[in-house]
């Protein structure tokens, strides 16, 4: 029986909520297990609104035997009050992971209508209170803000609130910057919760230090409609209505502000995307360079998924000599892998990612900043690295923190967006989705890069790929939508489009 339930009601990310929430619970479960104090773990319940009509409508509580305890909001409070513990949500394989579970887990997705979030979060609070939990209502938050608050709570800092988040990251950013960011950055907030939160963060930092122009603040547009990180990444175009100027920095969040994508125009007004791969490359090379300057020897790794652009992988391995790991799609896999490195930089190509640093390494870097046996240059690099890592929300990919981190690096290197996007040129690529009768027929292996079943599909893909220079393609059943996703890249956009189409037909 939990002693602490925290609820946040906010706008939804694009397709992201299910795994986002599973992840909150997953991590809390792990944390709790580590502390062997399961019953003291804080529990987060996030009520979200989805615009995707394919999503589950309503709440579900399912016991470990698979019996449905509640299927509607009306029955939730009673189900919670009467439920024999443990209660686990079907998609979570938690019991094996955490030993005897005495943790309440709920995956709650509601359909559409943001105004309903408030009343739905009340239902959760009522339900949780009905079985004696102490509840804290944190109001409207971005997904990463809730993660942050929970992580602080589980670390023993029980008074943490939203303001604490702003103070923490605003002061970390100001400590790292020695001169203000000289040009503005325009941020499309997908008409989601990020708009108000980014405005607050920018206020705490100060307009004299960073100039953030918020676009799509939700006053008129709809959540994620023709805007937001996923739209920009998949469509490879700017949010509707945004008038772009060459070499100006533009960024997009997704609806719940856990993804970040940058973009700009080159001098010929070609659209240039700087996605999760490029952000990861910027972060990792910056960390590597400062580790080198500070003469600190730590194992740095980048974690990607199959969606990482082939040229980003080539750049990191062949030109930068940075260790790379590949995991299946979904940040929980990337995060887990990142923890196996001293410093792990993980990003999905769609802009969802962060950096993890183990405490021992953080201490090592902090100590190096004051080590009298090191040169002033070495100490300076160590100090910079420490301050940079302080900007990062290590609990989960956080669009606001990642934005600050990008801005800080560009300023420190005296780089415009041009120097950044030129670190490597992406291979043209295309994402597609195919509706099939039963996507679960497809089984994949090798971090989703190969199809295992049906057995005739992978040879068919291989044969198609061979026809295109620099061709690569893979398919996988989506974990969040009832579709099979197809990814293709090749030497030209036409070939990438063609390959994606041919492979889609093969899938079908």
Backbone angles phi, psi at 138, to 5 degrees: -95, 5
Structure tokens at 180: 């203000």
From the candidates 8, 50, 312, 504, which is the catalytic residue?
Answer: 50
Residue 401, classed as helix, strand or coil, is: helix
Q: Is 56 in the site for ligand GN1 (CB under 6 A)?
A: no
Question: Distance of CA 285 to CAs 216, 321, 336, 409, 497, Å?
Answer: 32, 10, 21, 10, 31
List beta partners, residue 45: 7
Q: Is 394 in the site for ligand GN1 (CB under 6 A)?
A: no
Q: Is 15 in the site for ligand GN1 (CB under 6 A)?
A: yes
Binding mask 445-484 for ligand GN1 (x = CB under 6 A): ---------------------------------xxxx---
Q: Is the dihedral of CA 32, 254, 280, 501 positive or negative?
A: positive
Q: Is 228 in the site for ligand GN1 (CB under 6 A)?
A: no
Binding mask 326-365 for ligand GN1 (x = CB under 6 A): ---xxx----------------x-x-x-------------
Q: Is 476 annotated to bind ligand?
A: yes
Q: Is 195 in the site for ligand GN1 (CB under 6 A)?
A: no
Q: What is the rounded distance in angstroms from the CA atom of residue 297 to the CA atom of residue 318? A: 20
Contact range with ligand GN1 by CB under 6 A, out of 13-21, 123-131, 207-215, 267-275: 13-21
Smallest gap from Cβ 309 to ligand GN1, in A, equals 13
Of 12, 26, 8, nearest to 112 by C-alpha is 12
Structure tokens at 60: 């579900």
Q: Is 489 in the site for ligand GN1 (CB under 6 A)?
A: no
Structure tokens at 290: 């400062």
Q: Is 443 in the site for ligand GN1 (CB under 6 A)?
A: no
Q: Is 55 in the site for ligand GN1 (CB under 6 A)?
A: no
- Apex CA 254: angle with CA 248 and CA 260, to 5°? 50
Smallest gap from Cβ 89 to ligand GN1, in A, equals 16
Q: Is 485 annotated to bind ligand?
A: yes
List beta partners, residue 265: 246, 271
Comparison of 358 and 480: residue with beta carbon closer to ligand GN1: 480
Question: Among this protein's residues, is 50 annotated catalytic?
Answer: yes
Beta strands in 189-328 (DSSP E): 212-215, 249-253, 260-265, 271-274, 300-304, 323-326
Residues that bind ligand GN1 (CB under 6 A): 15-16, 19, 307, 329-331, 348, 350, 352, 478-481, 485
Query: Catalytic amino acids?
Result: 50
- Write out the binding residues for Mg(2+): 50, 254, 256, 258
């Amino acid at each position: 029986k939990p002693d602490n339930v925290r609820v946040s009601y906010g706008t939804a990310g694009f397709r992201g909520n299910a795994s986002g929430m599973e992840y909150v619970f997953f991590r809390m479960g792990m944390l709790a297990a580590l502390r062997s104090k399961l019953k003291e773990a804080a529990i987060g319940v996030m009520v979200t609104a989805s615009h995707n009509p394919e999503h589950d409508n309503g709440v579900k509580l399912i016991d470990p035997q698979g019996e449905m305890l509640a299927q509607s909001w009306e029955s939730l409070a009673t189900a919670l009050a009467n439920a024999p513990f443990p209660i686990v949500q079907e998609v979570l394989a938690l019991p094996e992971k955490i030993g005897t579970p005495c943790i309440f887990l709920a995956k709650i997705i509601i359909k559409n209508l943001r105004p309903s979030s408030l009343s739905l979060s009340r239902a959760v609070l009522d339900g949780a209170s009905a079985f004696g939990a102490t509840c804290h209502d944190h109001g409207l938050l971005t997904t990463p803000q809730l993660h942050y608050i929970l992580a602080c709570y589980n670390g023993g800092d029980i008074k943490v609130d939203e303001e604490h988040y702003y103070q923490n990251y605003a002061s970390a950013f100001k400590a790292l910057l020695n001169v203000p960011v000289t040009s503005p950055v325009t941020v499309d907030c997908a008409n989601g919760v990020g708009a108000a939160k980014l405005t607050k963060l920018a206020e705490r930092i100060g307009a004299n230090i960073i100039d953030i122009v918020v676009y799509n603040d939700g006053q008129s547009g709809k959540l994620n409609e023709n805007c937001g990180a996923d739209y920009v990444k998949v469509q490879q175009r700017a949010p509707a209505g945004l008038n772009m100027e060459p070499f100006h920095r533009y960024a997009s969040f997704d609806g719940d502000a856990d993804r970040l994508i940058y973009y700009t125009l080159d001098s010929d007004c070609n659209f240039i995307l700087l996605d999760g791969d490029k952000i990861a490359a910027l972060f990792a090379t910056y960390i590597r360079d400062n580790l080198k300057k500070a003469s600190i020897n730590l194992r740095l790794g980048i974690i990607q998924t199959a969606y990482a652009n082939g040229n980003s992988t080539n750049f990191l391995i062949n030109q930068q000599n940075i260790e790379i790991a590949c995991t299946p799609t979904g940040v929980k896999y990337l995060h887990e892998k990142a923890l196996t490195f001293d410093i792990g930089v993980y990003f999905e190509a769609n802009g969802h990612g962060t950096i993890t640093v183990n405490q021992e390494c953080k201490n090592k870097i902090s100590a190096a900043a004051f080590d009298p046996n090191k040169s002033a240059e070495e100490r300076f690099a160590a100090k910079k690295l420490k301050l940079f890592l302080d900007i990062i929300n290590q609990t989960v990919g956080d669009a606001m923190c990642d934005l600050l981190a990008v801005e800080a690096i560009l300023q420190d290197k005296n780089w415009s967006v041009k120097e950044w996007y030129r670190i490597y040129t992406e291979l043209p690529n295309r994402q597609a989705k195919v509706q099939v009768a039963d996507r679960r027929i497809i089984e994949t292996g090798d971090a989703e890069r190969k199809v295992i079943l049906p057995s005739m599909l992978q040879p068919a893909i291989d044969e198609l790929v061979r026809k295109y220079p620099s061709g690569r393609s893979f398919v996988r059943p989506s974990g969040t939508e009832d579709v099979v996703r197809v990814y293709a890249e090749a030497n030209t956009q036409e070939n990438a489009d063609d390959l994606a189409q041919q492979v889609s037909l093969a899938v079908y």
